[in-house]
Amino acid sequence: MTQQKWTAADLPAMTGRTVVVTGASGGLGLVTARELAAAGARVILAVRDEAKGNKSAAAMPGTTEVRSLDLSSLASVRAFAAAWSGPLDILINNAGIMQVPRARTSDGFELQIATNHLGPFTLTTLLMPHITDRVVTVSSEMHKRGHIDPDDLNGQNRPYDAFQTYCDTKLANLLFAFELQRRLTRAASSVRSMAAHPGLSKTSLASHVTGLSGLGQKILVALFAQDAEHGALPMLYAATAELPGGSYAGPDGPGERRGYPTPVQASEDASDERLARRLWDASSRLTGTGQTLTPAR
């Protein structure tokens, strides 16, 4: 008997529930926000470009709201969190950047680690007292190529490689998600920390990449990628399905490039508890958050 494939049609009724989706003005975040709003959730699109966010929200069904959030700026993250009131059922850390030229943020952080890890780390820890159900952190199969040195998150002691740095941040996402679950468990909280990856999906994430790397990615996408509607399914699955905390969802097809969502395995490095603790401590020092966790019970 063939097992039924999970799709957006399997989303539970979300009426009365509040969800924040970062990076929801385009790509996978837009699809995720749209499907949750269609299921009845109140969806907050946390976006860097409010005009683009408002345009995206206007085309969605249900109840939506657009709020400004630039994950590369700790001031912006803190302002977003400080303005939050009331319960937040689900936080989906979807926003990210890929393979950008070397740059520093206003806080002095390397841009990719700031946007993909330190920003979501800060946002999650600051919002934790409000979160009632789960946190979903979006990673990538590229995490398997990642290497993390918690003592040098900003890459000051090595030459900058844009692709390798992206892979490093995706490993950081999983280390964070799994360590968050361990801390929630120790705090006897019912809140769950989940992770997901979209496989290979057609989005604009790497559209700016040029040269041989850009050409190779364009060919790979053209031959093997799935559309954003399917790419968003693992995030929706991780956000709503009855899965244990610490689950990691991805596509069920060959190489986890495409298909329908299912629990998948992370790399050995992503499950390294000592490395995860070191990363948490380093992230806490850099951001000034996360020293203590105060989750909802």
DSSP string, 98-147: -SPPP-B-TTS-BHHHIIIIIHHHHHHHHHGGGEEEEEEEE--GGGGG--
Structural tokens at position 176: 């964070």
User: What is residue 5's DSSP assignment?
Assistant: P
CB contact set of 274 (below 8 Å; sequence gap of 6+): none
CB contact set of 170 (below 8 Å; sequence gap of 6+): 116, 139, 140, 142, 143, 146, 197
Distance CA 80, CA 19 (A): 14
Catalytic positions, please? 166
Distance CA 132, CA 56 (A): 27
CA distances from 261 to 6, 31, 257 (A): 6, 15, 11
Structural tokens at position 64: 């939506």
Backbone angles phi, psi at 137, to 5 degrees: -110, 125
